């Protein structure tokens, strides 16, 4: 019988941007070090009050990109559906646009008053070995230090890092592979670790796979009601940009919405097949 969790993982790691992340994925899979089923199980152990970090500002204007917030919304909606009370911590340029969609969006400054049950970082800049933050092109990123939250809770609570290039918070756990396989890896790779890591061709897709895996574990399709197109258009209308194109566009990392919709539909069909 097909391993449904492996199917989810392979589907969302189509490296359409040729970033080198697919080689990181293959090596992690060959070592058994990318365990989607375990991640889904652990999330269900701690689902009550998740703290979701997201927002990656793109230089030179340092405006947040569309990769990350869509995954954060899909994850928040899924955990709310099973009784969780998720909050999203948004980078400053993403804060107002995202809060219009998700009213439990908070700022970096508000996080000290929160007591999460676990923390997941979705496409958040992670500091490199020189203490700076970098884009995939090696440009310095100016941002809220959301990775400090992951560092604060690492090994105190369950933490997860989601990324697609190796410069994201949490992916310090696999830094050696990022340096090995990703262009500019030595310079841009994050040193900030997480208890578990999951990667994808986009961070949004990686999260969709996690939600699909939770759906199998929980016994309900938690992706069914997620309208990616609606949320993407709403964010773009508020000024959020495509991170690869560096401009306002209804796409993620240069990937048209239709392709992402097809990935989501395949995930939903696989969930339905197994449930």
Count other C-beta atoms under 10 Å from residue 68's C-beta: 33
Tracing tokens 């897709």 back to the chain, one arrives at: 205
Torsion of CA 233, 238, 243, 248, to 10 degrees: 80
Question: CA 114, 120, 125: angle at the middle one, nearest 5?
Answer: 100
Backbone phi and psi for residue 33, each to the nearest 5 degrees, phi listed first: -100, 5
For residue 62, give the DSSP letter: T
- CATH fold of the domain at 4-274: inorganic pyrophosphatase (n-terminal core) (3.90.1640)
Beta-strand relationship, 105-106 and 87-90: parallel
Question: What is the chain's mean pLDDT, rounded?
Answer: 96
Q: Tell me: the pLDDT tens digits for 168-193?
A: 999 999 999 999 999 999 999 999 99
Give domain limits for the chain: 4-274
The model's pTM is 0.97
Q: Tell me: the pLDDT tens digits for 15-74?
A: 776 777 889 999 999 999 999 999 999 999 999 999 999 999 999 999 999 999 999 999
């Amino acid at each position: 019988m097909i391993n449904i969790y492996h199917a989810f993982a392979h589907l969302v790691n189509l490296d359409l941007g040729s970033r080198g992340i697919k080689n990181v994925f293959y090596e992690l899979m060959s070592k058994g070090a990318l365990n989607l089923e375990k991640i889904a199980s652990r999330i269900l152990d701690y689902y009550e009050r998740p703290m979701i970090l997201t927002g990656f500002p793109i230089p030179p204007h340092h405006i947040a990109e569309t990769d990350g917030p869509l995954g954060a919304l899909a994850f928040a909606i899924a955990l709310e559906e099973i009784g969780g009370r998720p909050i999203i911590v948004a980078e400053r340029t993403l804060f107002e646009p995202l809060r219009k969609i998700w009213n439990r969006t908070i700022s970096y400054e508000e996080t000290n008053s929160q007591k999460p049950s676990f923390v997941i970082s979705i496409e958040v800049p992670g500091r490199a070995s020189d203490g700076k933050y970098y884009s995939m092109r090696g440009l310095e990123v100016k941002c809220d230090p959301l990775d400090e939250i992951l560092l604060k809770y690492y090994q105190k609570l369950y933490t997860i890092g989601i990324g697609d290039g190796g410069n994201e918070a949490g992916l310090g756990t696999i830094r050696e592979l990022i340096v090995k396989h990703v262009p500019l890896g030595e310079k841009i790779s994050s040193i900030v670790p997480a208890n578990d890591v999951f990667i994808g061709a986009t961070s949004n897709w990686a999260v969709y796979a996690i939600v699909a895996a939770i759906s199998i574990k929980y016994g309900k399709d938690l992706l069914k009601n997620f309208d990616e197109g609606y949320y993407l258009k709403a964010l773009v209308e508020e000024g959020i940009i495509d991170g690869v194109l560096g401009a306002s566009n209804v796409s993620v990392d240069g990937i048209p919405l239709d392709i992402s919709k097809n990935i989501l539909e395949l995930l939903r069909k696989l969930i339905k097949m197994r449930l």
